[in-house]
Structure 1
Amino acid sequence: MKALILVGGFGTRFDPLTLTLPMGFVEFANKPLILHQIEALKNIGITEVLLAFNDQPEVLLVVDQSKQVILDSLIQFGNTHGINITVLPETERLGNARALASAKEPLLNGYEEPFLVMNSDIISDYPLRELIHFHKAYDRDASIMVKVYGPSKYGVVALEQGTGRVKKFFVKPKTGISTTINTGIYVMNPSIFDRIELTHSSIEKDVFPKIAEERRLYGMVFTTLWMDIKDPNDYLLGLAMYLQLLRGQSPSQLATGSHIVGNVLVDPTALIGDDCKIGPDVSVGPNCVIHSGVRLVGCTIMRGATIHKHARISNSIVGCNSIIGDWSSIDNYTILGEYVTVRDEVQCNRDVVSPCTVIESNLRSLSRKSNYAN
């Protein structure tokens, strides 16, 4: 079986991190989101993975060299683990159904068998083997992984009890229709390509509602970890959930010590100073430097960042290679892009800071505020 990951492009609700990276390339728990998915595919024996960009890839991969570095590292990971990773470019934005249609030849390559499709901006424990078995039991056009969840910003489904057949598929409906949501993980038969119009089209808006009406769409309910990483709230909540999953499944990956509180993930290459207090729900990425007296809670420090003495980061995201000065505080869903410098004794609160910015003083009344903090 092969797999297609719909990488997409710039996630505008996650600026400024997606000003220079497609959403699937943003780090989550110290590695790109998409690598979590590729690892899950490897674990069930899939050896062919296609990456479909529905934005112009020549833009995505040239605006900043870090994207090319990430892409190269994904391909190197594939080579190391026996996975062939192929990038499928699109020169026009024609919707994710057209991205799927463009992948028809490499997905099938003469073989009429099911394949996996995943959105790149989700984190889960990926019960893919179970979904494949579910799909083969019914052998319809498509099977989707669904979860009981608050439906306010997700597509929802109405399931037939006992069979899992999707009676109706709704894209971001008004409340009250259903609390069972589409999670963006699918198994499809080759017959799905007959349902895709050769115009701008969406899997969720144009394909799934049609095949649901024809009784050829099924949903498998699962109850374990899942989060759609669309904005900073989702990201930090998803991180806390993911670290709790590690606590249960692989506790040796989590940091320990007198300076650690709760679930904390620290890359082995990161340097931690004396008298720090880190956690709960924190990830510290590769080659980060955390100086003495720093307090980190409910946050992500991405690769190459430096946090100077007695700084405090709380419920925020610090982008790659950023620098936080002595006694500064970054709080309340602040997001710093790549290569941001925050001078000493500066406070950032609900601020959204573009890449390569130098912050000399408090930004409370100067910067664009995040709409994602509660």
Structure 2
Amino acid sequence: MKALVLAGGRGTRLRPLTHTSAKQLVPVANKPVLYYGLEAIRDAGITCVGIITGDTGAEVREAVGDGSKFGLDVTYIPQEAPLGLAHCVLIAQEFLAGDPFVMYLGDNFLLGGISDLVDAFCHGGYDAQVLLTRVTEPQFYGVAELGPTGEIIGLQEKPVHPRSDMAIVGVYSFSPAIHEAVRAIAPSARGELEITDAIQWLIGNGYSVHSHMVSGYWKDTGRLQDLLECNRMILETIAPDNRGTVDGLSEITGRVVIEPGAVVENSVLRGPIVVGADAKIQSSYVGPFTSIGPRCVVQDAEVEYSIVLDDSSVHGVSRLAHSLIGRNVEVSRAEGAPNTYGLMVGDHSRIQVRA
């Protein structure tokens, strides 16, 4: 069995960050979201992986390489424009070579892995299997309508009146029958080949399409609040590990990971927190559910429930919360009195806030 990982797309909901960075490489607990998916694929026993890339293909290639650090053999498949998920299957046909495969959206965050999905597909004899989860607002998702034994009898894309609360997660298993389906469908109103249309074609032509429920935790990381929530979930699982330098004036409580080369001076760290390699925390408070990236500097500041990416600095800010700070960003003090800030800042920016 093979895997097809989708790492293209423009990440419009995370702009301006994604103007200069692939959305799949935004880190959660200091590890890119894409890495969690690749590790889940490997843990399911799949080693041959094709990665669909778009405008940020060079960055994805640099981050993943040939896949050997994950125990994978990776082939890159460029997509010249984001023409739909079914179009990804269409252009990957030569790589897939008639084998069954898992299709995994690279910006999905799925705790619990996909081994159960792969096992159920291999033993079920299905032509397609779609990972689903219950949601409270199905009108914002692709939705599956199920039959009495878990078979999928219909799909809706962001319906005004959903026929179920079963949202399509973004992980699928397919037999080679999907290739006929993607060739048979026409582009949607938005000019894309929709995977939901291809799956509906399979259903309409008598192929076996089954559901599989998420066994762990799932989030689409396309929005700021979802990234912060995924960061929180991963940090809840970490074990304390100090491989940096902490002076005697600092207070460390809870699950705190301090990576090699990091320095903590005269500061309070209340976990769960990850402090990246060669970062510096000086005369500051870093609160729960915060990831500080490598080589960052936090000085005379307070930060909590936030993600700060590599090589950024936060100076003299009284309270920074619920924020995603890009790479090479400087956040510094300005005049004024507000105490809490919520920032979403693109790479290579400079921000002054009232403190």
Coarse TM-score class (shorter-chain normalised): 0.7 to 0.9
Contact 2:333–2:354 (8 Å) recurs in 1 = no
Contact 2:48–2:74 (8 Å) recurs in 1 = yes
Distance in 2, matches of 1:9 and 1:222, equals 24
Deviations 1:12-63 (A, max 9, x none): 111232121121111112111111111222223322111102x335xx53xx
1:22 — aligned with what? 22
Q: What's the C-alpha RMSD, in Å, of the aligned pairs? A: 2.9
Distance in 1, matches of 2:230 and 2:73, equals 29
Contact 2:30–2:276 (8 Å) recurs in 1 = yes
> 1:313: Cα distance to partner?
1.4
* Gap change, CA 1:170 and 1:267, over 3 Å in 2: farther
Contact 2:240–2:256 (8 Å) recurs in 1 = no
Distance in 1, matches of 2:71 and 2:306, equals 36
Distance in 2, matches of 1:353 and 1:157, equals 36
Find the residue that maps to 2:65 and give its secondary structure.
Answer: helix
Q: What percentage of aligned pairs have identical amino acids? A: 25
2:274 — aligned with what? 283
| Residue 318 in structure 1 maps to residue 308 in structure 2 | yes
| Residue 72 in structure 1 maps to residue 62 in structure 2 | yes
> 1:228: Cα distance to partner?
1.1
Find the residue that maps to 1:195 and give its secondary structure.
Answer: helix
Structure 1 letter corresponding to 2:46: I
Indicate which of 104, 108, 123 corresponds to 1:122.
108
Structure 1 segment 120-159 matched on structure 2, within 5 A: 120-150=106-136, 151-159=138-146
1:371 — aligned with what? none
Find the residue that maps to 1:360 and give its secondary structure.
Answer: strand
> 1:349: Cα distance to partner?
1.8
Structure 1 segment 132-211 matched on structure 2, within 5 A: 132-150=118-136, 151-161=138-148, 163-174=149-160, 176-197=162-183, 200-211=191-202
Indicate which of 86, 91, 103 corresponds to 1:97.
86
Structure 2 letter corresponding to 1:326: G
> 1:83: Cα distance to partner?
1.8
TM (normalized to structure 1)? 0.81
Find the residue that maps to 1:51 and give its secondary structure.
Answer: strand
Structure 2 letter corresponding to 1:352: M
> 1:104: Cα distance to partner?
0.9
1:352 — aligned with what? 344
> 1:207: Cα distance to partner?
1.3
Q: Which runs of 5+ in 2 are unaligned?
A: none
> 1:107: Cα distance to partner?
1.6
Contact 2:129–2:212 (8 Å) recurs in 1 = yes
Distance in 1, matches of 2:176 and 2:241, equals 39
Contact 2:310–2:326 (8 Å) recurs in 1 = yes
Deviations 1:71-94 (A, max 9, x none): 334226x22454211211122332
Distance in 2, matches of 1:266 and 1:210, equals 51
Q: Which runs of 5+ in 1 are unaligned?
A: 62-66, 364-374
Deviations 1:309-343 (A, max 9, x none): 3x111333323211111344323x33322211112
TM (normalized to structure 2)? 0.85
Distance in 2, matches of 1:336 and 1:243, equals 18
Distance in 2, matches of 1:283 and 1:212, equals 46
Indicate which of 188, 205, 220 corresponds to 2:212.
220
Distance in 1, matches of 2:21 and 2:74, equals 19
Find the residue that maps to 1:3 and give its secondary structure.
Answer: strand
